């Protein structure tokens, strides 16, 4: 086998690199800088750095242990009732079904669809963000953690980013935010039969399969045998939604990061969760602009308490080739930051 888990690799025919996370025969799963796991053919990768480095081995062991804990659990595939249509769900399963409101609970992310899903899930509580990512096979579930009622805050916020993988179709990725309230676990009527598990649980619908938005391939893409998920993802991120819709000129983009521009029903989102959504979108737009080689991006963030701007600057410090500062007050007011993107030298 040419590669091993933990190796740092770059793509042979494309721009990009990452760390080998899993290997299935000649299919190598590479995690990129955005945290997405990209399947690549072994022949399309070049080794940059071996995992023999001690730090990388340590990181790999942690990832391996996480994968064991989050191993896919295949669920029942009974014909869903009217209430349980095909889709993505989060379920809260009591570890003692006989006393559901007084026992610890296991939390599962359930893929009750006919396609595999790559996901990044952020669990947000006051002062803390916990993130998990991985692959959920079709009609399977992953344990994403446990809850103890006595230790829970009144509400836990989640943000889920997903890429749907299909052998013959390409779907646009989606971002969805939702919450779990403590009082949900304290009412026995909330625990119900479901087509996923044998015991009663609390199911939370995230997205129906019927709501997945298909991305239509061009004729050239349909005929090109070398097209793979990496190329799909790049077209989806770079062309479908991220930076191009914000272009004012070929070399200038303006991105409004106000919450009402990014999500539906912003009034239902807590401040901690709102900040995470805004920063995540900011970084995606920034990466997309860098990839596209756009000269300048103006991010409109408003004034407020200055927290969003401060956190944006912390992220920007990690990009040594970028120049940034306050945007012109006459044009944007005092609530905007402009970022100049230095061309990458080849």
Q: Which range marks the domain in which residue 246 is found?
A: 242-341
Instruction: Give the H/E segment covering residue 55.
Output: helix 54-69
Per-residue confidence (pLDDT) for residue 220, from 0 to 100: 59
Q: Which tens digits make up the pLDDT trace of 146-184?
A: 998 888 888 888 888 888 888 777 788 888 888 899 989
Per residue, the 3-state secondary structure of 147-176, as one string, reads ECHHHCCCEEEEEEEEEEECCCCEECCEEE
Same domain? 206 vs 314: no
Q: Which residues, including other chains, have CB under 8 Å from residue 14's CB and lie 6 or more apart?
A: 230, 231, 234
Q: Which tens digits make up the pLDDT trace of 88-130?
A: 999 999 988 888 888 789 999 999 999 988 888 888 877 677 8
- Within-domain flag for 91: yes
Domain boundary among 30, 47, 69: 69
3-state secondary structure of 33: coil
* Closest C-alpha among 253, 273, 5 to residue 155: 273
Q: Which tens digits make up the pLDDT trace of 235-254?
A: 444 444 578 889 999 889 99
Q: Which tens digits make up the pLDDT trace of 24-65?
A: 667 788 887 766 677 777 888 888 888 775 433 233 322 323
- Within-domain flag for 234: no
State the DSSP string of 89-137.
EEEEEESSTTSGGGS-EEEEEEEESSSEEEEEEEEEETTEEEEEEEEE-
Phi, psi of 194 (to 5 degrees): -150, 165
- Within-domain flag for 221: no
With a cut of 60, say whether residue 225 has pLDDT above it: no
Q: Which tens digits make up the pLDDT trace of 300-325?
A: 998 877 889 998 998 898 888 888 99
**Which CATH number goes with the domain that contains 304?**
3.30.1370.110
* Closest C-alpha among 275, 308, 272 to residue 157: 272
Same domain? 102 vs 151: yes
Say how far apart CA 300 and CA 296 lie, in whole Å.
13
């Amino acid at each position: 086998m040419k590669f091993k888990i933990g190796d740092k690799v770059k793509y042979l025919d494309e721009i990009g690199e990452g760390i080998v996370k899993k290997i299935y025969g000649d299919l190598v799963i590479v995690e990129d800088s955005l945290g997405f796991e990209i399947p690549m053919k072994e022949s399309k990768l070049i080794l940059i750095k071996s995992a023999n480095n001690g730090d990388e081995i340590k990181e790999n062991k942690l990832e391996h242990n996480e994968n064991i804990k989050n191993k896919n659990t295949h669920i029942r595939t009974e014909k869903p009732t009217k209430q349980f249509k095909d889709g993505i769900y989060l379920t809260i399963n009591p570890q003692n079904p006989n006393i559901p409101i007084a026992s610890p609970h296991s939390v599962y992310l359930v893929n009750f669809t006919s396609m595999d899903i790559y996901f990044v899930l952020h669990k947000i509580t006051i002062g803390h963000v916990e993130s998990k990512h991985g692959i959920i096979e079709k009609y399977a579930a992953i344990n994403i953690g446990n809850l103890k009622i006595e230790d829970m805050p009144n509400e836990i916020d989640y943000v889920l980013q997903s890429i749907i993988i299909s052998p013959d179709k390409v779907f646009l990725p989606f971002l969805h935010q939702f919450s779990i309230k403590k009082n949900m676990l304290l009412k026995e009527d909330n625990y119900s039969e479901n087509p996923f598990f044998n015991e009663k649980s609390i199911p939370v619908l995230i997205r129906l399969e019927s709501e997945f938005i298909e991305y239509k391939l061009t004729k050239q893409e349909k005929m090109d045998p070398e097209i793979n998920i990496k190329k799909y993802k790049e077209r989806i991120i770079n062309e479908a939604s991220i930076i191009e819709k914000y272009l004012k000129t070929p070399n200038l983009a303006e991105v409004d990061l106000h919450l009402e521009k990014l999500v539906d029903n912003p009034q239902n989102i807590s401040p901690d969760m709102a900040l995470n959504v805004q920063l995540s979108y900011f970084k995606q737009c920034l990466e997309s602009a860098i990839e596209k080689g756009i000269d300048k991006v103006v991010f409109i963030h408003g004034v407020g308490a200055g927290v969003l701007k401060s956190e944006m600057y912390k992220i920007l410090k990690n990009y040594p080739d970028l120049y940034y500062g306050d945007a012109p007050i006459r044009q944007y007011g005092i609530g905007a930051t402009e970022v100049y993107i230095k061309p990458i030298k080849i």
